[in-house]
């Protein structure tokens, strides 16, 4: 296997300090809240993979269809060698047709999966080495809200992909900051490919976050398993109910865990006791849905020129291509 560079932007200590700070702050606030990136330990990444295969979770199938059908169009923008970076890559499955289209044109210079989950990055690199023997493969283990300045740069044009609708997991201010940081990390002519879940019938959206098999519920509760493992907490995850609500005013799915009985949870490593009243909720993440024009305005405001927006046959997911200007 050729040499693969792995850039670790978050040291274990760093991760631990951030975890302690976020958990103490989040669970002593009102309402209580926890950051979404905590869901993705090994078990959380596996549960996420399983939830994307549920019949109700249309996002993955829809976006995969767009990327398969439009890969050649995506690769047709620009000329010359391209380094593809995928933020929040997970298993980096959906990007493969795009990589193949660049490779077929002899333009795929490098691929860099970037994810907070080190195991995912390592697995992707091992898997892709056989498929792309002539392509430089490297990985970045980092937080895309903090480490965008670490994007690889060897002089060729970059295409930064952000798929799966993860862009929708930011609040409005976080999204603005992310776009600004990304624009600062890029040069004019570099491109941003972002997949976004589009506003549609709320019934369709709600079903995707309340799948009948209960996989999303288990994924949501996984954040409590993470606190048990990493901070010596004694949460009983089964005593928390998964809740996903649709807010039509802000086009947002709001995910929560609701205590089904009164309880006090000990978080040993923080020397912290957290009390829950029956019905009290922990906010565990949001998933914003977009109108095309609104997202394009946000891209423009951050210094990107929207070049294309493709959707699947239902118009469920939008894949936007924009150029740094």
Q: Is 311 in the site for ligand AVI (CB under 6 A)?
A: no
Interacting span for ligand AVI (CB under 6 A) from 130-138, 146-154, 159-167, 173-181: 159-167
- Bridge partners (DSSP) of residue 133 are none
165 binds ligand AVI per the rule CB under 6 A: yes
With binding defined as CB under 6 A, does residue 60 bind ligand AVI? no
Please give the residues from 70 up to 129 whose contact with ligand AVI meets the rule CB under 6 A. Answer: none
The string over 177-190, giving b where at least 16 C-beta atoms fall within 10 Å of a residue's C-beta and e elsewhere, is ebbebbbebbeeeb
216 lies in the binding site for ligand AVI (CB under 6 A): yes
CB of 117 to ligand AVI, least distance (A): 12
Query: For residue 160, which phi and psi values (nearest 5 degrees)?
Result: -100, 120
Closest contact distance (angstroms) between CB of 164 and ligand AVI is 5
Asked whether position 164 contacts ligand AVI by CB under 6 A, the answer is: yes
Q: Which does 26 bind (CB under 5 to 8 A by kind): ligand AVI, ligand SAH, none?
A: none
Strand partners, 265: 274
Residue with smaller CB distance to ligand SAH, 87 or 259: 87
| Smallest distance, ligand SAH to C-beta of residue 90, A | 3
Compute the Cα dihedral for 39, 45, 50, 51 and give only its sign. positive
For the record, the structure tokens of 263 come out as 């309880």
Contacted entry of ligand SAH, ligand AVI, none for residue 168, CB cut-off 5 to 8 Å set by kind: ligand AVI
Is 117 in contact with 45 (CB distance < 8 Å)? yes
Select 45 or 284, whichever has its Cβ closest to ligand SAH.
Answer: 45
Q: How far is the CB of 261 from ligand SAH (least distance, A)?
A: 31
Q: Which is nearer to ligand AVI, 287 or 311 (CB)?
A: 287
Give yes or no for a contact between 163 and 136, defined as CB atoms under 8 angstroms apart.
no
> CB of 58: closest distance to ligand SAH in angstroms?
13
Main-chain dihedrals φ then ψ at residue 162, nearest 5 degrees:
-140, 95
Q: What residue 51 binds from ligand AVI, ligand SAH, none (CB within 5 to 8 A, per partner kind)?
A: ligand AVI
Locate tokens 């080190």: which residue?
A: 118
| Cα–Cα–Cα angle for 147, 39, 6, rounded to 5 degrees | 40
- The entry of ligand SAH, ligand AVI, none near residue 145 (CB within 5 to 8 angstroms by kind) is ligand SAH
Helical pair 215-231 and 42-52, crossing angle rounded to 10 deg: 170
* Shortest distance, position 49 Cβ to ligand SAH, whole Å: 8
Length of the chain measured in residues? 325
- Under the criterion CB under 6 A, does residue 166 sit at the interface with ligand AVI? yes
How far apart, in whole angstroms, are the C-alpha atoms of residue 97 and residue 310?
A: 15
Is 109 or 252 the residue whose CB approaches ligand AVI more closely?
252
Enumerate binding residues for ligand SAH (CB under 6 A): 37, 40, 45, 48, 52, 60, 88-90, 94, 115-117, 120, 143-145, 163-164, 166
The minimum distance between CB 234 and ligand SAH, in angstroms, equals 25
Per CB under 6 A, 287 contacts ligand AVI: yes
Size of the site for ligand AVI (CB under 6 A): 11
Q: Which residues bind ligand AVI (CB under 6 A)?
A: 51, 59, 164-166, 168-169, 209, 216, 219, 287
């Amino acid at each position: 296997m050729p040499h693969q560079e792995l850039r670790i932007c978050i040291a274990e200590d760093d991760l631990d300090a951030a975890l302690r700070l976020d958990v103490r702050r989040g669970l002593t606030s009102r309402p209580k809240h926890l950051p979404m990136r905590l869901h993705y330990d090994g078990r959380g990444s596996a549960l996420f993979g399983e939830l994307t295969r549920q019949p109700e979770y249309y996002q993955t199938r829809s976006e995969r269809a767009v990327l398969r059908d439009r890969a050649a169009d995506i690769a047709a923008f620009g000329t010359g060698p391209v380094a593809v970076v995928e933020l929040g890559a997970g298993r980096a499955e959906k990007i493969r047709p795009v990589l193949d289209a660049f490779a077929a044109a002899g333009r795929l210079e490098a691929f860099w999966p970037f994810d907070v989950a080190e195991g995912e990055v390592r697995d992707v690199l091992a898997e892709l080495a056989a498929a792309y023997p002539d392509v430089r493969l490297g990985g970045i283990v980092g937080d895309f809200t903090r480490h965008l300045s670490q994007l690889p740069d060897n002089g060729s044009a970059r295409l930064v992909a952000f798929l799966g609708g993860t862009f929708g997991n930011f609040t409005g201010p976080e999204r603005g900051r992310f776009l600004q940081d990304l624009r600062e990390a890029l040069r004019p002519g570099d491109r941003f490919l972002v997949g976004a879940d589009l506003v549609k019938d709320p019934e369709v959206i709600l079903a995707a976050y309340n799948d009948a098999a209960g996989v999303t519920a288990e994924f949501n509760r996984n954040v409590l398993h993470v606190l048990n493992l990493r901070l010596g907490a004694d949460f009983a995850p089964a005593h928390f109910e998964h809740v996903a609500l649709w807010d039509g005013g802000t086009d947002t799915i709001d995910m929560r865990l609701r205590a089904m009985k009164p309880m006090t949870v000990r978080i040993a490593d923080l020397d912290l006791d957290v009390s829950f009243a029956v019905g009290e909720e922990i906010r565990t993440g949001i998933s914003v849905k977009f109108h095309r024009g609104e997202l394009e305005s946000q891209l423009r405001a951050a210094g990107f020129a929207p070049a294309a927006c493709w959707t699947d046959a239902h118009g469920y997911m939008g894949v936007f291509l924009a150029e740094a200007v």
